[in-house]
Amino acid sequence: MLLYFITCISFFLFLKPLLFLKPLLSWACELRLISLSLKSISDLFRNHFLLDFLCEIHATTSLGKKTTLASKAENVEDTQNMSVLDLPELVLECILERLPPASLCQMAGVCRSMRERCVSDHLWERHMKQKWGGVIGPVAFREWKWYVASKTSVASARLGKQRSFMRLVSLPWPFSWMRVKMDTNNSIKQYSSLPADSAMAWYLALESGNFRFPAQVYNRENGLVGFMLSCYDAELSYDLHSDTFQARYPPHGRRAVSIEHAIPWERLRAPPVDTPPHDLHISDCLNDLHPGDHIEIQWRRNKEFPYGWWYGVVGHLESCDGNENYCRCQSSDTVVLEFNQYTPDSRWRRTTISKKDHREEGNEADGFYGGIRKIKNANEISIWKNLWPSEVLD
């Protein structure tokens, strides 16, 4: 009995200091919370949990039912109530950079301070480059600037921006939980100050299909035989539901505007040169062409048609046997172009151009050849090879 009593007394004396420990200071809890946030950011975003969590924090604090961040992060005790805006600037910026576009739109409706952060150009320029960088080039950007500049007067544009932005933000994003906060008059209060020429406005205009942009389409009109291994200018609009594009091709002579639907991303590119489809491209690579080089050349059926870009390779002169040790084709004023997608006896298989004062060459029977650009990018060459027809063309 005595032994049992001594053991109990010893155990009580051991626990006594632990029972009277003071709670962690507020700043210590915050530091622990921040470290937990940084450690788990990637996992939270993967499940779209963080966005709901942040919005819930703001909503509860605005209603007076304040919930501590500590209770949301493994029950870490905190002596003060916090909101998402109390996070360090670097942590908050890190979170916003990892949000997808739909989540940024929702977060922009939380409060004025969050809106100013979520509409920043540096966040949306990143999304622009990631999704649209392959099909949007300088020509499309110039068209966008003209589109913005063509707005009505400042007085009427103020109301127009509110309605336009409301229509853009209320897009049918593939997230059922995305909503736009509205007041009783069905007007958006928080987004009225969004600049019309901001990166966010441009992204949403593209995503909604409201802005048609110039780009080029490989193998137009669903790979029609007459357009195999070619690339034509068109006016594109995006369909968010099918993740495809609609193309409007300019009229060809007496032919009306042609429209093609359901074009996948793989058949689009930004124009590699800033040359309108009816203008002759000024060739600056003629003296640098060697047999085996990959090229694109302008070609059109007649003078009324716009040019398309056609893929080919530089060949050898008839007087050359193709032996690299004795080949002098590069020093000649004549360049041989071969289009190996056609049969050897096809009239489209081979043509020649002159390096001296090269201009449009051809006739009404065989069409007209225009400017040439040398393809140096391996990725461009790979795209053309992937589009190669399954059968040789006549």
Band of residue 9 on the pLDDT scale cut at 50, 70, 90 = low
Q: pLDDT at residue 374 above 90?
A: yes
Average pLDDT over residues 160-172: 52
Residues with Cβ within 8 Å of 221's Cβ and at least 6 positions away in sequence, in order, are 227, 249, 258, 260
Tracing tokens 């007209």 back to the chain, one arrives at 368
Residue 350's DSSP bridge partners are 338
Tokens of 32: 């622990």
> CB of 81 within 8 A of CB of 71?
no
Q: What is the pLDDT of residues 266-282, one digit of tens each?
A: 999 999 999 999 999 99
Q: How confident is the model at residue 162 (pLDDT cuts 50, 70, 90)?
A: low
Measure the CA–CA gap between 183 and 215, rounded to whole angstroms. Answer: 39
User: Mean pLDDT for the chain?
Assistant: 76
Contact 235, 243 (CB under 8 A): no
Residue 6 confidence class, pLDDT cut points 50, 70, 90 = low
Q: What is the pLDDT of residue 312?
A: 97
pLDDT of residue 60 exceeding 70? no
- Give, rounded to a whole angstrom, the gap between the first and last alpha carbons of the chain: 108
| DSSP letter string, 249-315 | EPP-TT---EEEEEE-GGGEE--SS---TTSPP----GGG--TT-EEEEEEESSTTSPPEEEEEEEE
The three-state secondary structure class of 316 is: coil
**Strand pairing class (268-269; 230-239):** unpaired
Q: Distance between CA 223 and CA 228 in Å, rounded? A: 6
Amino acid 310: pLDDT: 97
More confident residue, 20 or 142: 142
Is the model more confident about 85 or about 75?
A: 85
| Among 4-13, 29-38, 92-101, the least confident range | 29-38
What pLDDT, on a 0 to 100 scale, did the predictor assign at position 341? 92
Per-residue confidence band for 167, with pLDDT thresholds at 50, 70 and 90? low
What pLDDT, on the 0 to 100 scale, is given for residue 129? Answer: 94
Tell me the C-alpha distance between 314 and 338, whole Å. Answer: 6
pLDDT above 90 coverage of the chain, percent: 44
CA neighbours closer than 13 Å in the CB half-sphere of residue 54: 25
pLDDT exceeds 60 at position 63: no
214 CA to centre of own chain: 15
Per the listing, tokens 């406005």 go with 201
Q: pLDDT at position 10, please?
A: 52
Residue 169 has pLDDT above 80, yes or no: no
Percent of the chain with pLDDT over 70: 68
Over residues 183-191, the mean pLDDT reads 36
User: What pLDDT is stored for residue 245 in this prediction?
Assistant: 97
Say if residue 157's pLDDT is above 80: no
Among 65-69, 73-77, 258-262, the range of highest mean pLDDT: 258-262
List pLDDT tens digits, range 206-259.
Answer: 999 999 999 999 999 887 778 899 999 999 999 999 999 999 998 776 777 889
Q: Is the pLDDT of residue 191 over 50?
A: no
Q: For 115-148, how does the pLDDT look when each residue is reduced to its tens digit (9 = 90+)?
A: 888 999 999 999 999 999 999 999 999 999 998 8
Question: Quick check: 232 and 271 in contact, CB under 8 A?
Answer: no
Residue type, 172: P
- Mean pLDDT within 166-193: 41
More confident residue, 244 or 358: 244
